[in-house]
Structure 1
């Protein structure tokens, strides 16, 4: 009975994992591939792509990104991490490129473009200002500000912009930037009129239209993100699909927090002065068939008496979600949940420590690939007591397998007696067939947590390991169909079946190594009693090879190395119990062939 229960449990676990792989392989991955193809097509056509007309501020005439940039006088941004410009028309931060991150692993690949000016395809920008009832001449998106100080925005080189409303109000905006991704915007309003005015500060991040690449993966959060709600805010996450469906959320009163719009690796976020009351909101305004996504805040109103002035400081983050950088900003400016802009997922209690371990090891070895190997050793060390019991039980099971087969034949016609004798045999030999299931159960959360780390952390993006592996977060770039690059031909160009060879049948070096080590590990286990089960188990390594091939190569490195450690552990224990192993038989076979040849 225990033997059958063990087999059924293993089959159940295998089927559960297979279902996950099938869903990932045949549903999520093809969808992501289609979206990636759309992204490439969009990138090729972006120079002439039109924007949707009709929205307030949206271009009524199609323009290119270059034309949109030229529509306003500009001041350059030049930092170690950023290139771009600030539009004097509207005083917006609307042109940013991340110079330390390339669009692909190619050395000549252009830098990632984060922000785009209004009028360009898929505009994405940040603006700041004041709002008030019955106050004429407040600065708008069409107001051209005067550059009063500075020539280029750089660390320790701020810009100062000014404008007036023609009725006694002078607006001054000081913009500073550090050497990473944080801007500090200080707005001052001076009232030289004869009457008091009441104004409230606001900040907004707006995204006009959604590029096809967004929401490409079910496990990655892309959309609205922030922390809102009183003095102890909670994390707010709204995927684009839900954001579009619901139209956003109502304003939430807060004294601490932030709002932003996030992609898989990139973030644009506005952080009001912490400790001051404000209301944060996410909105989706439909303009024709275009969604205009807006993450904004509005602060408490200030009454400015004649001869007085008021100042508001707002910070804007525009850059890559580098975890140490986010943590540093969270600590320095006391921004709640800022490093949660990285989507750690439901297994955050495993994902965060796992990333911290990889990051810690990386600082010493300089390679995330090596860090993954050491992580594998650490995980196996943690699970060593369970694994030891598993492999000990398997070794004993293999040792008593001939006795089990004898009992099955002897009591073939009496199943009840057969189970009774099998239980007695297991008790005498101190064998527990169920002991092999626990390590599998405990390693499944680790598997998903590592998958999450490799998928969402930018540190893994374009992280090289060795040889052909130049991006641990992507699939193995090699494929068996061109002999791993020896033939100058890409399978995707094959007529009729090119897409199939480049997606579902794309088998590289690491998937093959994974399949081989899986086969070795499974060959060390006791054979299933049923011939049908034996055939299924023999096919498992081949099936897993195809299912795992599209996964991040970093995950395959982890699993392959884990298989190797498993084989070593199994071999040592089986030798200890004097059990014949497939490795021994392999050595004996080749040794016998060598002697015969001599």
Structure 2
């Protein structure tokens, strides 16, 4: 086998390896599962055991004495009605366990179900928040409110931003527990808990909040997105996915897999999903214990915020406050809570990634362009124009160098003919030619190097931020966070059958209009670059636009739109800069000649 055929074979194998690695790192997005799909309910009578002395509700152990109810479903409920949240709270345990978001639907169809964030015990993958008091001294577990305590509330009470609801429970031995629940206009609940001690002896209790998930939820399982436990502890962010939670060491104090952090100030803890999260936020700057737990026997994941013990003297009352955020990870909303309501670092609950110094500014610019333009698709195009303007000085030097290299192409062909099979002589001749004409062959890589962190950061922004979810552009692109729904396999909707879905083996061939435009834009841009002297390399470069067209075909439409815009602007910039240096690029004139030369070389 001659050297040229070896080079071509090697280049082909390497291209295949690149494709495999790419799809491992950036797999096509999975179809969105409807979390509201019917599920078989497990029948339980109060899902949790009693509170052990001096500790919190556990997920394992002996069952507590339950109220006289046949199931949790029989417990009375309080409706929640706001412009942004609907649902209800169970009076069994005072659980916040039924939350739907009025502004968000499962799909772009306005008739599709609203997004369900929290769900009741007995439903598939129950997910809810609990608040209460743990006994420390002078009172036992049976006399503090627990997960199965049946609270009382005023008749016909409805929780709205204007009407808080008060829950009460009298343990019958001298203590009365009260919880005032309120909600704001967005996604924040406030829980003010009090204990009044009418007995003759002091008691000591610890206020707590718990967020609990039954079973591991369906996740995207994508390295670019964190889903799982998230917490802020003294200004330090920690993220633990569900796999990591299951591998935590056994904490002897907790009796299960757990990781405790004693937070001095500025902290919160909870669970985050792709677009939604449920977070416990103890009030003020007081210290608290932040604990992540996993109960393996029942596959329950738990986040706890436990405040310091409080002593209640006879005839006195103590109060403890905390907040619960459960809703969409909207940047503006999180920023409001961080800046105006003292929830430190709350914007960082959005997964900005390790390149946050790129991701945050790019999102900020995109967000403000959207506020100005009103359409996220055109805002992405505007963002691309701004970025290209910023890097234009560097691009100018690179494209100027490319223009000079194009001018040297005839001389390089002569060097190749003179050197024959002597590669060393060829390389030395090229270096002398570059030096004589003051050309830096590496400068052509500069625009691509600059694009890599920008591309990754924008990919991150489009994938993780709430603002891109179900954001329309125009025509057939009604969700920029999803792949182009059109397909060449049914002639973009002209043929009477649907295109194959992402789970089909034909999905990679189901190219939409945007991916095809991407391939064309990359090919046009490549036509302005100097062709490699090695025929095998030239063949690989000739195929790269079409390879990338398939690689990016199932990526989010917003990302493909950015790449098309970037390629188009790059082509225009490079063409004009080359013309300014006296070189007239022949974009279409040598296509047939180049194809024949590469075919002959192969």
Q: TM-score, normalised by structure 2?
A: 0.87
Deviations 1:135-187 (A, max 9, x none): 34211222211113872111121111111000111111111101100001100
1:142 partnered with 2:140? no
SS at match of 1:575: helix
C-alpha distance 25-356 of structure 1, shift in aligned 2 (>3 A) = same
Aligned to 1:427: 435
Query: Counterparts of 2:419 and 2:71 in 1: how far apart (Å)?
Result: 84
Deviations 1:53-80 (A, max 9, x none): 99736899xxxxxx98743201100111
Bigger drift between 439-448 and 347-356 goes to 439-448
Query: Counterparts of 2:19 and 2:322 in 1: how far apart (Å)?
Result: 45
Answer yes or no: is the 8 Å Cα contact 2:359–2:461 preserved in 1: yes
Answer yes or no: is the 8 Å Cα contact 2:207–2:309 preserved in 1: yes
1:559 partnered with 2:563? yes
Bigger drift between 569-578 and 270-279 goes to 569-578
Aligned to 2:55: none
Aligned to 1:25: 23
Answer yes or no: is the 8 Å Cα contact 1:233–1:254 preserved in 2: no
Q: CA deviation at 1:422?
A: 2.8
Answer yes or no: is the 8 Å Cα contact 1:21–1:548 preserved in 2: no
1:205 partnered with 2:215? no
Query: Counterparts of 2:503 and 2:282 in 1: how far apart (Å)?
Result: 51
C-alpha distance 451-189 of structure 1, shift in aligned 2 (>3 A) = same
Aligned to 1:349: 357
1:222 partnered with 2:214? no
When the two chains are superposed, the root-mean-square deviation of aligned CA atoms in Å is 2.9
Answer yes or no: is the 8 Å Cα contact 1:149–1:159 preserved in 2: no
Name which of 406, 420, 445 aligns with 1:412. 420
Q: CA deviation at 1:528?
A: 1.4
Aligned to 2:90: 87
Aligned to 2:340: 332
Aligned to 2:158: 152
C-alpha distance 147-15 of structure 1, shift in aligned 2 (>3 A) = farther
SS at match of 2:120: coil
Answer yes or no: is the 8 Å Cα contact 1:266–1:319 preserved in 2: yes
Q: CA deviation at 1:23?
A: 3.2
Aligned to 1:592: none
Aligned to 1:478: 486
Answer yes or no: is the 8 Å Cα contact 2:527–2:587 preserved in 1: no
C-alpha distance 552-117 of structure 1, shift in aligned 2 (>3 A) = same
Name which of 512, 516, 519 aligns with 2:520. 516
Deviations 1:272-295 (A, max 9, x none): 1122121110000123xx411110
Aligned to 1:244: 246
Bigger drift between 135-144 and 17-26 goes to 17-26
Aligned to 2:451: 443
1:136-535 paired onto structure 2 within 5 Å: 136-148=142-154, 151-211=157-217, 213-228=218-233, 232-246=234-248, 247-287=257-297, 290-412=298-420, 415-492=423-500, 499-502=504-507, 504-535=508-539
Answer yes or no: is the 8 Å Cα contact 2:36–2:113 preserved in 1: no
SS at match of 2:509: coil
Query: Counterparts of 1:350 and 1:281 in 2: how far apart (Å)?
Result: 32
Answer yes or no: is the 8 Å Cα contact 1:284–1:291 preserved in 2: yes
Q: CA deviation at 1:51?
A: 7.5
Aligned to 2:126: 123
Answer yes or no: is the 8 Å Cα contact 1:68–1:118 preserved in 2: no
C-alpha distance 126-459 of structure 1, shift in aligned 2 (>3 A) = same
Query: Counterparts of 1:304 and 1:16 in 2: how far apart (Å)?
Result: 72
Bigger drift between 516-525 and 238-247 goes to 238-247
Query: Counterparts of 1:193 and 1:55 in 2: how far apart (Å)?
Result: 31
Query: Counterparts of 1:87 and 1:55 in 2: how far apart (Å)?
Result: 13
Deviations 1:471-517 (A, max 9, x none): 11111111111111222312338xxx981123x32311110000000
Answer yes or no: is the 8 Å Cα contact 1:150–1:158 preserved in 2: no
Answer yes or no: is the 8 Å Cα contact 1:285–1:293 preserved in 2: yes
Aligned to 2:550: 546
Q: CA deviation at 1:44?
A: 4.0
Q: CA deviation at 1:430?
A: 2.5
Deviations 1:516-573 (A, max 9, x none): 0000000111111122111111111110001011111111111101110111112112
Q: CA deviation at 1:336?
A: 1.9
Query: Counterparts of 1:418 and 1:22 in 2: how far apart (Å)?
Result: 34
Query: Counterparts of 1:365 and 1:248 in 2: how far apart (Å)?
Result: 48
Q: Which runs of 5+ in 2 are unaligned?
A: 1-6, 50-58, 64-69, 249-256, 594-602
Answer yes or no: is the 8 Å Cα contact 1:51–1:120 preserved in 2: no
Deviations 1:78-134 (A, max 9, x none): 111100001111111110001101111112111100001112111110110111143
SS at match of 2:201: coil
C-alpha distance 161-347 of structure 1, shift in aligned 2 (>3 A) = same
Q: CA deviation at 1:392?
A: 1.0
1:536 partnered with 2:528? no
Query: Counterparts of 1:238 and 1:17 in 2: how far apart (Å)?
Result: 35
Greater per-residue helix proportion: 1
C-alpha distance 498-164 of structure 1, shift in aligned 2 (>3 A) = closer
Query: Counterparts of 1:262 and 1:20 in 2: how far apart (Å)?
Result: 32
Name which of 77, 80, 92 aligns with 2:80. 77
SS at match of 1:140: coil
Answer yes or no: is the 8 Å Cα contact 1:68–1:119 preserved in 2: no
Q: CA deviation at 1:580?
A: 3.7
Q: Which runs of 5+ in 1 are unaligned?
A: 1-7, 61-66, 590-598
Answer yes or no: is the 8 Å Cα contact 1:260–1:268 preserved in 2: yes
Q: TM-score, normalised by structure 1?
A: 0.87
